[in-house]
A and B are shown apart, each in its own frame.
Chain A
Amino acid sequence: MTYHHPSTLARAALVLFVLAIGLAAVVSWPASPARAQEPTPSDNQVNAVAKQLYCPVCENVPLDVCPTQACAQWRQTIREKLTAGWSEQEIKNYFVEQYGARVLAAPPPRGLSLLVYLLPPLAFVVGGYIVYRAVRTWRRAARPRASPPPAAEDEYARRIEEELRRRE
């Protein structure tokens, strides 16, 4: 529910989107003196990488919006690496090597960290199975007692009337 996106696909789409906007802004801008300075690489390119990283000090603040001096230096590092022609993945790897996996917004799905991703779906499936079993047992127990005939023609009106009667 925030600046990140539900799936990698969506995230990739957004990164592209942001880049495209940035690019479009650069391309479509008339070459007049009243134009924003566009350093190479642009702030948007730097932020596209930075928003996927977290510095170890400012907990839970993504790097692209963190106002501290330290984070500004990290962004500067990203800019330098981009200038040197590094890819996004190379830059992320560099930060992981330097500061550990905690700089990533979510742990890489390897080793123990695989559990992060496996447990919630597993819990859902197990929970679903428990619910399914419970419902089946209940239905089986109820079957001998013949179920009443299916809903009447205007089932809804009947329900309302019944409820109103009960309330009054």
Chain B
Amino acid sequence: MLANLGFAVLVITLLVSIYGIAAALYGARTGREAWVLSARQAMLLTWPLVTLSALCLVALLVTNHFEVEFVYSVTSRSMPGYLKATALWGGQAGSLLFWSWLMAAFASAAGLRRWDRDREFLPWVVVVALVTLAFFLSLIILFENPFARLWAAPAGETIKAMFAPSGAVLVTPGDGQGLNPLLRHPGMIIHPPMLYLGFVSFVIPYAFGMAALITRRTDDRWIRVTRRWTLVAWLFLSMGLVLGGRWAYDVLGWGGYWGWDPVEIAAFMPWLTGTAFLHSVMIQEKRGMLKHWNMVLVILTYCLVIFGTFLTRSGVLSSVHAFAQSAIGPAFFGFIGLSFAASLALLLSRWNELRGENQLTSLLSRENLFLLNNLLFVSILVACFWGVIFPLISELFTGQKVTVGPPFYERTTGPMFAGLLLLMGIAPLSAWGRTAGRSLGRLIVWPLAASLVVPLGLALSGTHNPAALLGFWLAAFVTLVTLSEFWRGALARRRIYKEALPVALWNLAGRNRRRYGGYIIHLGVVLMAIGIIGVELYQQETQGTLAEGQQITLGKYVMTYDSLAEFNAPDDRLVARAVTTIYRDGQKVAELYPRRDFYYVSQQPMTIPGVYSSLEGDFYVLLVGWEPIGSSGATFKIYLNPLINFLWGGSLVFILGTLVAAWPDRERARATARVPAGALAQRAK
């Protein structure tokens, strides 16, 4: 019953979306406002509709309706209620529905904004948003239906179908297979929604970009309108990436947080173009240049968002066969190819109308440095994309499967990331339009000199790794430049407005949130870079088999193995849990319980580390193996991950900076507050 309702509502939503697209196109072509407004209402209607459908699926999940195949495959009776509900995004079909729900929500939010200053965009934003939504809805309805049920055919085999095949009867399994154990983690509950929010909200800037191209309104209006959308999208995407890293660190049990897995890279690629976009739109706003390039970036970001959605849940890029066999693979690629080609064709047809207004005048101007920044981000993107698709190319042309793993990505992107850090140190000191080499030199010389103290000190105290010295120098340089920007700005305010320093600092950031929010983000990136350098270059590891009471040493730490217990947990898993004591410099600092869970139903082991964290780094121990009958002991793998908490701390600073930059302006908040709630609806009439 509920399954039928959920499915029917989806079909209705698809029809509503198609109507909205048609009405918007008709309205825009004939200039009949009523049709455009009707299209907007259709777009607003999609959100409650998809909400209803998603609620149906959640209800089925929570109430153990195992006759529904999706419910059977991602939940089981022993799972707690919150996990059953969030299993909505625990499998591909549900994820697509969840994605559509977010898409409808963002489309509706965009529909509710005040359109009086850019009415001509409205029909085209509706078209782009609803085409995207309709594509996902058709995927769900045609290929990946989460409401499909299990049926026993007369011949005996079990069929997955929405409606009863002739002569078949409904099958209701006694229990489900349960959620993939790797996904039963708080990080995995929040991580996909964050990522999807980031993905979906990038559709809105793209929609406005396309609307600007179609309507030939090629000033920077579309960029100003979508600035906050872009920042919010970027914030969610960044949070999704960080949470994913944290989840890997806590659950995957290999001592790291980022493995250059295609799925991770799929989420990282739109972030790269999005970050390039965030920087390059400033050039268009300030100098009226790079209009073509910004369009290219927003088109790329949109296509990568769709690509990422496809890759994160399907895994079909692992081989040519998996891709050919999956029903949605070709559909996805067709859609990405079509939207890419259509967007580019549109861009080319408007090429001459997008001429820049200003010209660059100095090699060291900020816009030139931003160009370099974009070059680096896009080069990293090329390396990532190439690494992800190369195994497929190799298999297609030579029949040989290859792995393109971390060594490739680190070698190719490492120097580019270093280049980005260097730019982060120079660009804030440069000016728009013209920067005299001499004035830039004067500004840079002090932070440069001061920052060199760090690598010198490190070298004298025994650090000789050139990559580490370079990395820490860059970190120090960017930090000094960024802090001095705050300092000099505050001093200037104090001189002009006679404000006390803290007040001046607060007002400085408050009056130009975008710039100073950006600087806070830069500081967050520096902290993250310190963490990454620490783990990448100074991670230590050892492995040993210990009998009870024995100990193993790594760096300053000694770990003793005290005991091990094996027991069955209520949610159908066998837990082997070791008790270990950690000493640093002879002092007991922690008791850790590394464990290995074995899930009976999915026959899947899961290694949960024991971690002792300090600012200096993490002591991270994994239980790798053990003998059931205690005597011959247990095997532990231990990592020392120096400075890793700078990575997590830095990401918090990063998020704080993005919030500062995206915070609504007071003036604008007041302006919207003055508009009564019903005004929009009236204006719309």
Q: In whole angstroms, what is the CA distance A60 to B405 when docked? A: 7
A72 and B495 within 8 A (CB): no
A1 within 8 A of B: yes
In the complex, which residues of chain A have a beta carbon less than 8 angstroms from the beta carbon of B649? Answer: none
User: Interface size on B (CB < 8 Å)?
Assistant: 94
Q: Return the CB mask of A135-168 against B: 1 if under 8 Å, else 0.
A: 1001101100001101100011101110110010
A97 within 8 A of B: no
Q: In whole angstroms, what is the CA distance A44 to B496 when docked? A: 63
B257 and A2 within 8 A (CB): yes
Q: In whole angstroms, what is the CA distance A132 to B624 when docked? A: 53
B215 within 8 A of A: no
Which chain B residues (243-258) contact chain A, with CB distance < 8 Å?
A: 252-258
B41 within 8 A of A: no
In the complex, which residues of chain B have a beta carbon less than 8 angstroms from the beta carbon of A112? Answer: 393-394, 397-398
B668 within 8 A of A: no
In the complex, which residues of chain B have a beta carbon less than 8 angstroms from the beta carbon of A36? Answer: 544-546, 550-552
A5 and B596 within 8 A (CB): no
Specify which of B372, B397, B439, B443 is in contact with A150 (CB 8 Å cutoff). Answer: B439
Which chain B residues (615-635) contact chain A, with CB distance < 8 Å?
A: 622, 624-625, 633, 635
Interface size bucket, A side?
35 or more
Q: In whole angstroms, what is the CA distance A2 to B406 when docked? A: 7
Which chain B residues (130-170) contact chain A, with CB distance < 8 Å?
A: none
Number of A-B contacts (CB under 8 A): 235
Q: In whole angstroms, what is the CA distance A105 to B539 when docked? A: 19
Q: In whole angstroms, what is the CA distance A123 to B376 when docked? A: 10
A116 within 8 A of B: yes
Q: Return the CB mask of B366-398 against A: 1 if under 8 Å, else 0.
A: 001001100100110011001100110110011
A104 within 8 A of B: yes
A67 and B605 within 8 A (CB): yes
In the complex, which residues of chain B have a beta carbon less than 8 angstroms from the beta carbon of A14? Answer: 539
B63 within 8 A of A: no
In the complex, which residues of chain B have a beta carbon less than 8 angstroms from the beta carbon of A148? Answer: 434
B492 and A34 within 8 A (CB): no
Specify which of A6, A123, A135 is in contact with B414 (CB 8 Å cutoff). Answer: A6
Which chain B residues (528-549) contact chain A, with CB distance < 8 Å?
A: 532, 536-537, 539-547, 549
B438 within 8 A of A: yes
Q: In whole angstroms, what is the CA distance A121 to B411 when docked? A: 11
Contact residues of A: prevailing secondary structure: helix
Which chain A residues (3-24) contact chain B, with CB distance < 8 Å?
A: 3-8, 10-11, 13-14, 17-18, 21-22
Q: Return the CB mask of B71-96 against A: 1 if under 8 Å, else 0.
A: 00000000000000000000000000
**Given A5-B537, A135-B360: A151 touches B408 (CB 8 Å cut-off):** no
A155 and B439 within 8 A (CB): yes
Q: In whole angstroms, what is the CA distance A76 to B31 when docked? A: 74
B554 and A21 within 8 A (CB): yes
B568 within 8 A of A: no
B492 and A25 within 8 A (CB): no
In the complex, the chain A residue whose C-beta lies closest to that of B368 is A135
The smallest C-beta distance from B608 to any residue of chain A, in angstroms, reads 11
**Given A131-B375, A138-B360: A44 touches B431 (CB 8 Å cut-off):** no
A11 and B407 within 8 A (CB): yes
Chosen A-B contacts, 6 in total, with CB atoms closer than 8 Å, are A4-B410, A10-B537, A43-B637, A113-B402, A150-B434, A161-B496
Q: Which residues of A contact B (CB under 8 A)?
A: 1-8, 10-11, 13-14, 17-18, 21-22, 25, 29, 34-39, 42-44, 47, 54, 56, 59-62, 64-65, 67-68, 72, 100-107, 111-113, 115-117, 119-121, 123-124, 127-128, 131, 134-135, 138-139, 141-142, 147-148, 150-151, 155-157, 159-161, 163-164, 167
Kindly list 8 other residue pairs between chains A and B, CB separation below 8 angstroms, not including A2-B258, A112-B398, A116-B390.
A4-B410, A106-B403, A115-B390, A134-B371, A147-B362, A148-B434, A160-B492, A164-B511
Lowest 4 CB-CB distances: which A-B pairs, in order?
A: A142-B359, A43-B543, A65-B254, A120-B383
